[in-house]
């Protein structure tokens, strides 16, 4: 029995001596796992910060590109009034010397306004003869026409784009079927 007792004691001693190493090994594994989690959180935070910077840069770029949207919309009414004035000039007035300088001044102002629009990315939307595009045109009436249904046959008010954004839709009359 002594022999069995001695063997059991020897196993207990070896296990007790091995336990600190086992506990230390578990602690190292725990610390390595915690380090990996911390590194993953740091990488996630860095990626999130980069995404926030990228979004802020995009928003800043868009704000600069489209900062004059409100002003451009307001100036469109001036353009509309100049165009109306030019279309309502009687034919005889163009040849009359008394009105010639006045008419040329209105035409020059309209050309300059078109030039300013062009420099600032404001472009007129093509409408008449085009197919109705609800992203650019607003149908006001349907009209009987020989054109294919959905084709724009009349432009009531010009539409404009600011770069790639709609500034104002074109108000149009659209052909209807037979």
Lowest mean pLDDT among 22-26, 94-98, 149-153, 154-158: 22-26
Q: Tell me what the pLDDT averaged over the chain comes to.
A: 88
Interior CA angle at 160 toward 88 and 69, to 5°? 115
Instruction: Tell me the per-residue pLDDT of 30-76, one tens digit each, with 9 for 90 and over.
Output: 999 999 999 999 999 999 999 999 999 999 988 887 888 889 999 99
Taking the model in full, what pTM does it have? 0.66
**56 and 81 housed in the same domain:** no
Residue indicated by tokens 């602690």: 27
Q: In angstroms, rounded to a whole number, what is the distance separating the alpha carbons of residues 173 and 123?
A: 21
**36 and 109 housed in the same domain:** no
Tell me what pLDDT residue 177 has: 79
Residue indicated by tokens 């054109």: 147
Q: How many domains would you assign to the chain?
A: 2
Per-residue pLDDT at 19 exceeds 60: no
Find, among 172, 159, 83, 84, the residue nearest to 122 by Cα.
Answer: 159
Q: What backbone phi and psi angles, to 5 degrees, belong to 139?
A: -75, 125
Q: What backbone phi and psi angles, to 5 degrees, belong to 176?
A: -115, 160
Per-residue pLDDT at 13 exceeds 70: no
Q: Would you give the distance in Å from CA 164 to the centre of its chain?
A: 9
Whether the CB-CB separation of 163 and 117 falls below 8 Å is answered with no
Select from 34, 65, 96 the last residue of a domain.
65
Identify the domain containing residue 76 by its residue range.
69-176
Lowest mean pLDDT among 13-22, 91-100, 110-119, 166-175: 13-22
**60 and 129 housed in the same domain:** no
**81 and 153 housed in the same domain:** yes
Tell me what pLDDT residue 93 has: 84
Q: How confident is the model at residue 1 (pLDDT cuts 50, 70, 90)?
A: low
**153 and 99 housed in the same domain:** yes
Q: In angstroms, rounded to a whole number, what is the distance separating the alpha carbons of residues 146 and 66?
A: 40
- CATH number, residue 75: 2.30.22.10
Per-residue pLDDT at 178 exceeds 70: no
Per-residue pLDDT at 139 exceeds 80: yes
**81 and 155 housed in the same domain:** yes
């Amino acid at each position: 029995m002594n022999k069995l007792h001695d063997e059991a004691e020897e196993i207990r001693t070896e296990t007790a001596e091995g336990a600190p190493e086992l506990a230390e090994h578990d602690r190292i594994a725990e610390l390595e796992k915690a380090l990996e989690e911390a590194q993953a959180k740091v990488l996630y935070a860095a990626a999130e910060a980069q995404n926030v910077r990228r979004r802020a840069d995009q928003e800043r770029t868009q704000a600069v590109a489209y900062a004059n949207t409100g002003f451009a919309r307001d100036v469109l009414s001036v353009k509309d009034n100049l165009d109306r004035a030019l279309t309502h000039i009687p034919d005889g007035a163009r040849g009359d010397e008394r009105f010639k300088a006045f008419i040329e001044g209105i035409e020059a102002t309209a050309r300059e306004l078109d030039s300013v629009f062009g420099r600032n990315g404001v472009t007129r939307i093509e409408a008449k003869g085009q197919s109705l595009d609800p992203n650019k045109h607003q149908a006001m009436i349907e009209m009987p026409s020989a054109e294919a249904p959905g084709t724009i046959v009349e432009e009531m008010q010009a539409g404009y784009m600011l770069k790639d954004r709609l500034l104002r839709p074109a108000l149009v009359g659209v052909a209807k079927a037979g």
